[in-house]
Amino acid sequence: MYADDTSITYAGKDLNEINDCLNKDLKSVNTWLSSNKLTLNLTKTEFLILTSRQRRVYLSDNPSLTINNFPIEQVSLTKSLGVYIDENLSWNTHIESVCKKISSALGLIKRIRNFVPFYTLLNIFNGLVKPQFDYCSLVWGSCNISPSRRKTSEAAKP
């Protein structure tokens, strides 16, 4: 019994405060999991610092997060509930992943289009392609638009 996809979020400006609060929260979460007969897979536990590129240069050090004296690895990219998130919130990796899945599904549809009825192709599209566009699109859907393209798309709206 594992606690999958557990996340702790903390926002702050002082790195020492962030470090102390997160280590305290990690200890509390680990205690709660243990008392509920759940296990935290420490080898899969990781942390990600989200900050702007401008503020990243002011980080002189990184938090030292541990659980039971086991150090937690810092990563620059993680996958949470099927969405790739990087330290700059650029969404490039997630969009590349979505594009690969869509391309693969469209390739399948292209190969079988002469052998199955249209409604079957439509069902396959609705089952394999459309969900890739829809899943968490409110989070990542317009996040990678450059400021100049965003102005153009907003001006085009009625």
Contact 134, 111 (CB under 8 A): no
**Looking at the structure, do residues 95 and 149 belong to the same domain, yes or no?**
yes
Q: In this prediction, what percent of the chain has a pLDDT beyond 70?
A: 81
Instruction: Note the residue count of the chain.
Output: 158
The stretches in the chain having pLDDT less than 70 are 1-5, 57-60, 140-158
Q: What's the rounded Cα separation, in Å, for the pair 158 and 155?
A: 8
Does some domain include residue 22?
Answer: yes
Please give the structure tokens belonging to residue 154: 């907003």
**Looking at the structure, do residues 110 and 135 belong to the same domain, yes or no?**
yes
**Looking at the structure, do residues 60 and 27 belong to the same domain, yes or no?**
yes
| Residue 74 neighbours by CB distance under 10 Å | 14
Does some domain include residue 80?
Answer: no
What letter would DSSP give residue 61? Answer: S
Does some domain include residue 85?
Answer: no
Note the pLDDT tens digit of each residue in 66-107.
Answer: 888 899 998 989 988 888 988 888 888 988 999 999 999 999
Range of the domain at 29: 15-75
